[in-house]
């Protein structure tokens, strides 16, 4: 009885609107890929569209999200942090999902599609390793072969997640080219896909890449925002939060969160990007604030580029925000003024990390620690005292413990 009640606890809201043309969000998005990939992207688009309107597919995904991923995740009211900041803080707890971040929501959807398309092998790129772990997990669950491309620098700084992927039966391929981080891992994954597209599904981990990925991944992540909207209404006596906040790497946890609130013009939507060592230093991941329009990884969006259009290296203390671009829908939301994009530096993120741990007993991943840090800075400034703020806590901080211990000078980690 309990098990089925929990299974029934996940209700997927009706599908959101489909982007026009070939995945256009205003002047952004589209499908800029080698000829060989076009049939696979068309097949994926067809399969996703039909699956997403199929009651059977949606019920199977809802069941997996409930019984395997642990949804719905709660919204937690943060009493001590609220008192400290003078605003009412609510957290959407994606850190409590199986594998520890929102990535599992998307991956379970794409694994079901892989099976529908009769493919036996999945490839993925990963930065912090959370998407790689989620993909390796789904591959184990579905009996699929799994190859994960990861920048050699990230392999080094996220050793725990590399071990988890290998334990789950995935092969991890360190990528040495370029800056040896996420952008280079995506390049390698695309290269592999061109050669193996008949048998392989490329499981992209954010709302980036060619159509249909930005749309499809948003739809798989909108469960975060749709759940949060209902949960906030229950908590707030039928009203909505004043501000909805999420960190932005490629932008999937943010767009999934925003999707639940976007039709409410009174709700202020804010995405927090990596400020790295400060925007003036040039070492950051703030592609909306500082990027220029261009085409990379199959789509037109905002990217960090030099005056010759060369892609610049991003920098962030958190591997998950260390990407020189952003999903096309965010570029359009920024252009339309519907969402704002701010940033928090490495140092501020470390403060946010400790602040949440000490006030609430919740250790966030470094990525959402950026959102916590921005909130701490803006409470009582651009966020009026007494306002209600929903923050999506995209993941938990276990993976970052060693790195943070070192940076904050805790004596010994081991
Ligand atoms: C991957 C990741 C991110 C960044 O990716 P988005 O697509 O921007 O959500 C943020 N937080 C966590 C915990 C992650 O694992």
Q: Is the full-model pTM beyond 0.85?
A: yes
Pick the catalytic residue from 102, 201, 211, 284: 102
Tell whether the torsion through CA atoms of 294, 298, 301 and 303 is positive or negative.
negative
pLDDT recorded at residue 203: 98
Ligand 1 pocket, CB under 6 A: 101, 103, 128, 130-131, 206, 247-254, 320, 365, 367-368, 394-395
Tally Cβ neighbours within 10 Å of residue 276: 25
Nearest CA to ligand 1 atom 1: 320
Q: Is 78 a catalytic residue?
A: yes
Tally Cβ neighbours within 10 Å of residue 169: 14
Helix (H) or strand (E) holding 217: helix 213-235
Distance of CA 3 to the CA centre of its chain: 28
Please state which of the four CATH numbers 1.10.530.10, 3.40.190.10, 2.40.100.10, 3.40.50.1100 is assigned to the domain occupying 75-100+223-408. Answer: 3.40.50.1100
For residue 395, which atom of ligand 1 is closest to its CA? 13
pLDDT recorded at residue 11: 86
Distance (angstroms) between ligand 1 centre and the Cα of 371 equals 12
Distance (angstroms) between ligand 1 centre and the Cα of 124 equals 15
For residue 256, which atom of ligand 1 is closest to its CA? 9
pLDDT recorded at residue 5: 36
Nearest CA to ligand 1 atom 4: 249
Instruction: Tell me the per-residue pLDDT of 32-88, one tens digit each, with 9 for 90 and over.
Output: 999 999 999 999 999 999 999 999 999 999 999 999 999 999 999 999 999 999 999
pLDDT recorded at residue 24: 97
Distance (angstroms) between ligand 1 centre and the Cα of 353 equals 15
Distance (angstroms) between ligand 1 centre and the Cα of 336 equals 23
Give the pLDDT of the chain (414 residues) as one tens digit per residue: 333 333 457 989 999 999 999 999 999 999 999 999 999 999 999 999 999 999 999 999 999 999 999 999 999 999 999 999 999 999 999 999 999 999 999 999 999 999 999 999 999 999 889 999 999 999 999 999 999 999 998 898 888 899 999 999 999 999 999 889 889 999 999 999 999 999 999 999 999 999 999 999 999 999 999 999 999 999 999 999 999 999 999 999 999 999 999 999 999 999 999 999 999 999 999 999 999 999 999 999 999 999 999 999 999 999 899 899 999 999 999 999 999 999 999 999 999 999 999 999 999 999 999 999 999 999 999 999 999 999 999 999 998 998 899 898 887 665
Distance (angstroms) between ligand 1 centre and the Cα of 84 equals 27
Query: What is the spatial distance between Cα 70 and Cα 91, in angstroms, rounded to a whole number?
Result: 16
97, 110, 128, best to mutate for ligand 1 pocket (most atoms within 8 Å of CB) = 128
pLDDT recorded at residue 412: 64
Pick the catalytic residue from 78, 203, 232, 247: 78
Do 16 and 262 meet the contact criterion of CB atoms below 8 Å apart? no
Instruction: Tell me the per-residue pLDDT of 325-335, one tens digit each, with 9 for 90 and over.
Output: 999 999 999 99
DSSP assignment letter at 283: -
């Amino acid at each position: 009885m309990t098990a089925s009640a929990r299974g029934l606890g996940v209700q997927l809201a009706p599908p959101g609107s489909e982007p026009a043309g070939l995945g256009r969000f205003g002047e952004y998005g589209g499908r800029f890929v080698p000829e060989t990939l076009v049939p696979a992207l068309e097949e994926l688009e067809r399969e996703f569209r039909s699956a997403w309107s199929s009651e059977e597919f949606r019920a199977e995904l809802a069941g997996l999200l409930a019984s395997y991923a642990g949804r719905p995740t709660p919204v937690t009211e943060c009493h001590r942090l609220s008192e400290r900041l003078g605003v009412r803080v609510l957290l959407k707890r994606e850190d409590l999902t199986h594998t520890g971040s929102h990535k599992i929501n998307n991956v379970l959807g794409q694994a079901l599609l892989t099976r529908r398309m009769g493919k036996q092998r999945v490839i993925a790129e990963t930065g912090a390793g959370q998407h790689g772990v989620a993909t390796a997990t789904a591959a184990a669950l579905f009996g699929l072969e799994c190859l994960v491309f990861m920048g050699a620098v990230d392999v080094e700084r996220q050793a725990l997640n590399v071990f988890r992927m290998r334990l789950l039966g995935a092969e991890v391929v360190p990528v040495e080219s370029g800056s040896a981080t996420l952008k280079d891992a995506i390049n390698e994954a695309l290269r592999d896909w061109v050669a193996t597209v008949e048998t392989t599904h490329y499981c992209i981990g954010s709302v980036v890449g060619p159509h249909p990925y930005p749309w499809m991944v948003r739809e798989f992540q909108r469960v975060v925002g749709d759940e949060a909207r209902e949960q906030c209404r229950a908590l707030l006596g039928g009203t909505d939060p004043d501000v909805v906040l999420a960190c932005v790497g490629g932008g999937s946890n943010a767009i999934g969160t925003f999707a639940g609130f976007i039709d409410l013009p009174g709700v202020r939507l804010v995405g927090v990007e990596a400020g790295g060592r400060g925007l003036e230093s040039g070492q950051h991941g703030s592609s909306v604030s500082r990027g220029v329009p261009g085409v990379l990884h199959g789509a037109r969006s905002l990217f960090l580029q030099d005056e010759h259009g060369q892609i610049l290296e991003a920098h962030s203390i958190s591997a998950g925000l260390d990407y020189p671009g952003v999903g096309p829908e965010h570029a359009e939301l920024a252009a339309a003024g519907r969402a704002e994009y701010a940033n928090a530096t490495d140092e501020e993120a470390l403060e946010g990390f400790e602040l949440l741990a000490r006030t609430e007993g919740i250790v966030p991943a470094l990525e959402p620690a950026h959102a916590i840090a921005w909130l701490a800075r803006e409470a009582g400034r651009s966020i009026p005292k007494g306002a209600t703020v929903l923050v999506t806590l995209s993941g938990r901080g276990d993976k970052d413990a060693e790195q943070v211990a070192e940076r904050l000078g805790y004596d010994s980690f081991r």
